[in-house]
Amino acid sequence: MSKTRIIEAVRKLDLQSIKKQLNDNPSLLPVVDRKGRNLLHLACSTQCGELNIAEAVSARVVTFLLNRGLDVESPLVTSDGCDTVNALWFAVARGRNRTLVKLLIKRGATPNGLYAAGWWEDLEILDLLIRAGAPIDVASGETPFLACWNWRKFKAAKFLALKGADVNFQDAKGKTALHHGVQKEFDPSLLRWLVRQGASPDIKDNEGVSARMRASRKRDKRFVAALFVILALLSLVKITNPSDRRKSKILVAAARPWEQNSHALLDSSSKRLNKQHKTISSQAVIDGSST
Protein backbone atom coordinates (compact mmCIF):
# COMPACT_ATOMS: atom_id res chain seq x y z
CA MET A 1 0.00 0.00 0.00
CA SER A 2 2.82 2.40 0.86
CA LYS A 3 4.43 1.71 -2.53
CA THR A 4 1.21 2.55 -4.36
CA ARG A 5 0.75 5.73 -2.36
CA ILE A 6 4.24 7.10 -3.00
CA ILE A 7 3.99 6.35 -6.72
CA GLU A 8 0.61 8.09 -6.88
CA ALA A 9 1.96 11.11 -4.99
CA VAL A 10 4.89 11.40 -7.42
CA ARG A 11 2.62 11.15 -10.44
CA LYS A 12 0.54 13.99 -9.04
CA LEU A 13 3.71 15.93 -8.17
CA ASP A 14 2.39 16.28 -4.62
CA LEU A 15 5.58 17.40 -2.94
CA GLN A 16 4.17 17.63 0.57
CA SER A 17 2.86 14.07 0.43
CA ILE A 18 6.14 12.81 -1.05
CA LYS A 19 8.16 14.47 1.71
CA LYS A 20 5.95 13.09 4.47
CA GLN A 21 5.98 9.53 3.12
CA LEU A 22 9.75 9.45 2.62
CA ASN A 23 10.37 11.01 6.03
CA ASP A 24 8.12 8.41 7.64
CA ASN A 25 9.52 5.52 5.58
CA PRO A 26 12.89 6.24 3.86
CA SER A 27 12.94 2.70 2.41
CA LEU A 28 10.37 3.88 -0.17
CA LEU A 29 12.97 5.95 -2.06
CA PRO A 30 14.14 3.13 -4.39
CA VAL A 31 10.56 2.03 -5.20
CA VAL A 32 9.88 1.19 -8.86
CA ASP A 33 6.64 0.54 -10.72
CA ARG A 34 5.79 -2.55 -12.80
CA LYS A 35 7.79 -1.22 -15.74
CA GLY A 36 10.88 -0.65 -13.63
CA ARG A 37 10.56 3.13 -13.52
CA ASN A 38 11.73 4.73 -10.31
CA LEU A 39 10.31 7.82 -8.63
CA LEU A 40 12.58 10.14 -10.61
CA HIS A 41 11.47 8.62 -13.92
CA LEU A 42 7.83 8.98 -12.91
CA ALA A 43 8.23 12.59 -11.81
CA CYS A 44 9.92 13.46 -15.09
CA SER A 45 7.17 11.68 -17.06
CA THR A 46 4.31 13.73 -15.65
CA GLN A 47 2.86 16.32 -18.02
CA CYS A 48 2.31 19.47 -16.02
CA GLY A 49 -0.28 20.71 -18.50
CA GLU A 50 -2.55 17.79 -17.72
CA LEU A 51 -2.36 18.61 -14.02
CA ASN A 52 -2.76 22.32 -14.73
CA ILE A 53 0.34 23.18 -12.73
CA ALA A 54 3.51 25.09 -13.54
CA GLU A 55 6.68 23.29 -14.61
CA ALA A 56 8.37 24.87 -11.59
CA VAL A 57 6.37 22.47 -9.40
CA SER A 58 7.87 19.47 -11.16
CA ALA A 59 11.31 21.05 -10.79
CA ARG A 60 10.87 21.24 -7.01
CA VAL A 61 9.81 17.57 -6.86
CA VAL A 62 12.73 16.41 -9.00
CA THR A 63 15.18 18.53 -7.01
CA PHE A 64 13.88 17.00 -3.78
CA LEU A 65 14.24 13.43 -5.12
CA LEU A 66 17.77 14.12 -6.35
CA ASN A 67 18.74 15.66 -3.02
CA ARG A 68 17.36 12.60 -1.25
CA GLY A 69 19.80 10.43 -3.19
CA LEU A 70 18.24 9.25 -6.45
CA ASP A 71 20.80 9.08 -9.25
CA VAL A 72 20.35 11.75 -11.93
CA GLU A 73 21.28 9.11 -14.51
CA SER A 74 18.92 6.43 -13.15
CA PRO A 75 19.38 4.15 -16.18
CA LEU A 76 16.48 2.07 -17.45
CA VAL A 77 16.62 -0.44 -20.31
CA THR A 78 13.72 0.10 -22.71
CA SER A 79 11.08 -2.61 -23.07
CA ASP A 80 12.52 -3.75 -26.42
CA GLY A 81 15.98 -4.03 -24.88
CA CYS A 82 17.49 -1.86 -27.61
CA ASP A 83 18.31 1.24 -25.62
CA THR A 84 19.08 2.56 -22.16
CA VAL A 85 17.41 5.80 -21.15
CA ASN A 86 17.69 8.09 -18.16
CA ALA A 87 15.51 10.57 -16.29
CA LEU A 88 16.28 13.28 -18.83
CA TRP A 89 14.84 11.10 -21.59
CA PHE A 90 11.58 10.82 -19.65
CA ALA A 91 11.48 14.61 -19.26
CA VAL A 92 11.85 14.93 -23.04
CA ALA A 93 9.75 12.03 -24.31
CA ARG A 94 6.99 11.84 -21.71
CA GLY A 95 6.88 15.05 -19.68
CA ARG A 96 7.94 17.30 -22.58
CA ASN A 97 9.16 19.58 -19.84
CA ARG A 98 11.76 22.17 -20.82
CA THR A 99 12.27 23.32 -17.24
CA LEU A 100 13.20 19.78 -16.18
CA VAL A 101 15.45 19.32 -19.19
CA LYS A 102 17.43 22.38 -18.17
CA LEU A 103 17.51 21.29 -14.52
CA LEU A 104 18.66 17.74 -15.23
CA ILE A 105 21.36 18.91 -17.63
CA LYS A 106 22.58 21.32 -14.97
CA ARG A 107 22.63 18.47 -12.45
CA GLY A 108 24.85 16.40 -14.77
CA ALA A 109 22.47 14.16 -16.69
CA THR A 110 23.74 12.74 -19.97
CA PRO A 111 21.84 14.53 -22.78
CA ASN A 112 19.47 11.91 -24.11
CA GLY A 113 16.33 12.18 -26.20
CA LEU A 114 17.01 13.65 -29.65
CA TYR A 115 14.68 11.15 -31.30
CA ALA A 116 11.88 11.94 -28.86
CA ALA A 117 12.35 15.70 -29.14
CA GLY A 118 12.37 15.32 -32.91
CA TRP A 119 9.14 13.32 -32.85
CA TRP A 120 7.44 16.11 -30.89
CA GLU A 121 9.19 18.71 -33.07
CA ASP A 122 10.24 20.56 -29.95
CA LEU A 123 13.02 22.67 -31.42
CA GLU A 124 13.87 24.32 -28.09
CA ILE A 125 14.51 20.98 -26.42
CA LEU A 126 16.46 19.79 -29.46
CA ASP A 127 18.64 22.86 -29.13
CA LEU A 128 19.10 22.35 -25.38
CA LEU A 129 20.21 18.74 -25.90
CA ILE A 130 22.59 19.56 -28.74
CA ARG A 131 24.17 22.44 -26.83
CA ALA A 132 24.58 20.10 -23.85
CA GLY A 133 26.59 17.72 -26.02
CA ALA A 134 24.08 15.19 -27.34
CA PRO A 135 25.71 13.49 -30.34
CA ILE A 136 23.67 14.74 -33.28
CA ASP A 137 24.46 11.77 -35.51
CA VAL A 138 23.98 9.00 -32.94
CA ALA A 139 22.58 6.09 -34.92
CA SER A 140 20.11 3.47 -33.80
CA GLY A 141 19.48 2.12 -37.28
CA GLU A 142 19.06 5.70 -38.42
CA THR A 143 20.14 9.06 -37.08
CA PRO A 144 17.72 11.50 -35.41
CA PHE A 145 17.75 13.56 -38.61
CA LEU A 146 16.89 10.60 -40.85
CA ALA A 147 14.26 9.38 -38.39
CA CYS A 148 12.56 12.79 -38.34
CA TRP A 149 12.72 12.98 -42.12
CA ASN A 150 11.07 9.58 -42.48
CA TRP A 151 8.47 10.47 -39.84
CA ARG A 152 7.66 13.58 -41.92
CA LYS A 153 8.66 15.75 -38.98
CA PHE A 154 10.24 18.22 -41.36
CA LYS A 155 10.64 21.12 -38.92
CA ALA A 156 12.78 18.94 -36.70
CA ALA A 157 14.63 17.38 -39.65
CA LYS A 158 15.49 20.81 -41.05
CA PHE A 159 16.58 22.05 -37.63
CA LEU A 160 18.92 19.09 -37.20
CA ALA A 161 20.33 19.51 -40.71
CA LEU A 162 21.07 23.16 -40.03
CA LYS A 163 22.73 22.18 -36.75
CA GLY A 164 25.15 19.96 -38.65
CA ALA A 165 23.47 16.56 -38.94
CA ASP A 166 24.82 14.33 -41.70
CA VAL A 167 22.26 14.71 -44.49
CA ASN A 168 23.98 11.92 -46.43
CA PHE A 169 23.75 9.29 -43.70
CA GLN A 170 22.86 5.87 -45.12
CA ASP A 171 20.62 3.43 -43.28
CA ALA A 172 21.07 -0.36 -43.22
CA LYS A 173 19.80 -0.55 -46.82
CA GLY A 174 22.18 2.18 -47.93
CA LYS A 175 19.37 4.70 -48.40
CA THR A 176 19.79 8.39 -47.67
CA ALA A 177 17.12 10.97 -46.90
CA LEU A 178 16.93 11.77 -50.61
CA HIS A 179 16.31 8.10 -51.43
CA HIS A 180 13.41 8.04 -48.97
CA GLY A 181 12.12 11.42 -50.07
CA VAL A 182 11.95 10.39 -53.72
CA GLN A 183 10.50 6.97 -52.93
CA LYS A 184 7.80 8.42 -50.66
CA GLU A 185 7.24 11.36 -53.02
CA PHE A 186 7.82 14.12 -50.53
CA ASP A 187 7.20 17.64 -51.79
CA PRO A 188 9.94 18.38 -54.36
CA SER A 189 10.64 21.68 -52.59
CA LEU A 190 11.84 19.65 -49.60
CA LEU A 191 14.19 17.68 -51.83
CA ARG A 192 15.57 20.90 -53.33
CA TRP A 193 16.10 22.29 -49.84
CA LEU A 194 17.98 19.18 -48.78
CA VAL A 195 20.23 19.29 -51.83
CA ARG A 196 21.06 22.86 -50.92
CA GLN A 197 22.20 21.63 -47.51
CA GLY A 198 24.70 19.30 -49.16
CA ALA A 199 22.67 16.13 -49.76
CA SER A 200 24.06 14.20 -52.72
CA PRO A 201 21.57 12.63 -55.18
CA ASP A 202 24.29 10.35 -56.53
CA ILE A 203 24.97 8.19 -53.48
CA LYS A 204 23.96 4.64 -54.33
CA ASP A 205 22.04 2.36 -52.00
CA ASN A 206 22.81 -1.33 -51.46
CA GLU A 207 21.08 -2.13 -54.75
CA GLY A 208 23.27 0.30 -56.67
CA VAL A 209 20.51 2.86 -57.21
CA SER A 210 20.93 6.56 -56.47
CA ALA A 211 18.15 8.96 -55.55
CA ARG A 212 18.60 10.75 -58.86
CA MET A 213 18.34 7.50 -60.79
CA ARG A 214 15.15 6.62 -58.94
CA ALA A 215 13.73 10.11 -59.52
CA SER A 216 14.46 9.95 -63.26
CA ARG A 217 12.23 6.86 -63.54
CA LYS A 218 9.18 8.67 -62.19
CA ARG A 219 6.57 10.13 -64.55
CA ASP A 220 6.37 13.24 -62.41
CA LYS A 221 9.56 15.03 -63.47
CA ARG A 222 9.39 17.49 -60.59
CA PHE A 223 11.33 15.00 -58.51
CA VAL A 224 14.29 14.69 -60.83
CA ALA A 225 14.14 18.44 -61.47
CA ALA A 226 14.58 19.02 -57.76
CA LEU A 227 17.78 16.97 -57.79
CA PHE A 228 19.09 17.88 -61.22
CA VAL A 229 19.28 21.65 -61.24
CA ILE A 230 21.76 22.25 -58.43
CA LEU A 231 24.04 19.50 -59.69
CA ALA A 232 24.14 21.08 -63.13
CA LEU A 233 25.26 24.37 -61.59
CA LEU A 234 27.85 22.63 -59.46
CA SER A 235 29.34 20.97 -62.51
CA LEU A 236 29.45 24.28 -64.39
CA VAL A 237 31.42 26.08 -61.68
CA LYS A 238 33.55 22.99 -61.01
CA ILE A 239 32.98 22.77 -57.28
CA THR A 240 34.93 19.71 -56.26
CA ASN A 241 32.85 18.85 -53.22
CA PRO A 242 29.08 19.23 -53.67
CA SER A 243 28.61 18.48 -49.98
CA ASP A 244 30.43 21.75 -49.16
CA ARG A 245 27.46 23.62 -47.71
CA ARG A 246 29.04 27.05 -47.83
CA LYS A 247 29.75 26.80 -51.54
CA SER A 248 26.42 25.17 -52.27
CA LYS A 249 24.52 27.98 -50.57
CA ILE A 250 26.34 30.56 -52.70
CA LEU A 251 24.59 28.99 -55.68
CA VAL A 252 21.07 29.15 -54.28
CA ALA A 253 20.24 32.53 -55.83
CA ALA A 254 21.68 31.44 -59.17
CA ALA A 255 19.71 28.20 -59.04
CA ARG A 256 16.29 29.81 -58.79
CA PRO A 257 15.92 30.74 -62.48
CA TRP A 258 16.99 27.23 -63.40
CA GLU A 259 14.39 25.80 -61.06
CA GLN A 260 11.66 27.98 -62.49
CA ASN A 261 12.42 26.74 -66.00
CA SER A 262 13.28 23.16 -65.08
CA HIS A 263 9.97 21.70 -66.23
CA ALA A 264 10.39 23.11 -69.74
CA LEU A 265 13.89 21.70 -69.88
CA LEU A 266 12.80 18.26 -68.68
CA ASP A 267 9.63 17.92 -70.73
CA SER A 268 11.57 17.72 -74.00
CA SER A 269 11.97 13.95 -73.73
CA SER A 270 12.99 11.17 -71.35
CA LYS A 271 15.92 10.33 -73.59
CA ARG A 272 17.33 13.81 -73.35
CA LEU A 273 16.98 13.73 -69.58
CA ASN A 274 18.80 10.40 -69.35
CA LYS A 275 21.55 11.72 -71.61
CA GLN A 276 22.01 14.75 -69.38
CA HIS A 277 21.95 12.44 -66.38
CA LYS A 278 24.79 10.32 -67.76
CA THR A 279 26.80 13.34 -68.85
CA ILE A 280 26.68 14.92 -65.42
CA SER A 281 27.36 11.60 -63.70
CA SER A 282 30.53 11.13 -65.73
CA GLN A 283 32.10 14.34 -64.58
CA ALA A 284 34.73 14.15 -61.89
CA VAL A 285 32.95 16.59 -59.62
CA ILE A 286 29.88 14.38 -59.38
CA ASP A 287 31.95 11.23 -59.12
CA GLY A 288 33.79 12.77 -56.22
CA SER A 289 30.54 13.53 -54.39
CA SER A 290 29.56 9.90 -54.22
CA THR A 291 32.77 8.67 -52.62
| Angle CA 77–93–148, to nearest 5 | 105
**Tens digit of pLDDT for each residue in 149-186?**
999 999 999 999 999 999 999 999 999 999 999 999 99
- Cα torsion angle, 282, 192, 200, 270, sign: negative
Span(s) in the chain for CATH 1.25.40.20? 1-110, 113-166
Q: What region does 155 belong to: left with phi over 0, alpha with psi -120 to 50, or beta? A: alpha
What is the 8-class DSSP label of residue 77? E
Q: CA torsion sign, 247 to 250 to 254 to 255?
A: positive
For 187-224, b/e burial (b = at least 16 CB within 10 A) is ebebbbbbbbbbbbbbbbbeeeebbbbbbbeeeebbbb
* Mean pLDDT for the stretch of residues 240-251: 51
Is it the case that residue 224 has pLDDT exceeding 80?
Answer: no
Rg of the chain taking only CA atoms, in angstroms: 25
- Contact criterion met (CB below 8 Å) for 104 and 132: no
Nearest to 55 by CA among 90, 97, 13, 16: 97
Question: Which architecture characterizes domain 113-166 according to CATH?
Answer: Alpha Horseshoe (1.25)
- Which pLDDT does position 289 carry in this prediction? 44
Q: At what angle do helices 270-282 and 222-237 cross, to 10 degrees?
A: 40
Strands 76-77 and 84-85: antiparallel
Q: State pLDDT tens for residues 109-129.
A: 999 999 999 999 999 999 999
Distance CA 114, CA 156 (A): 10
Q: How far is CA 3 from CA 9, 38, 60, 98, 255, in A?
A: 10, 11, 21, 28, 64
Which fold would CATH assign to domain 1-110? Answer: 1.25.40
Q: What is the pLDDT of residue 217?
A: 82
Look at residue 265 in the predicted model and tell me its pLDDT: 47
Lowest mean pLDDT among 49-53, 135-139, 244-248, 267-271: 267-271
Q: Give me the pLDDT at residue 152, please.
A: 97
Average pLDDT over every residue of 7-26: 97
User: With contact defined as beta carbons under 8 Å apart, do 242 and 286 qualify?
Assistant: yes
Crossing angle of helices 252-260 and 188-196, in 10° steps, is 150
The distance of Cα 94 from the centroid of its chain, to the nearest Å, equals 17
pLDDT surpassing 90 at residue 244: no
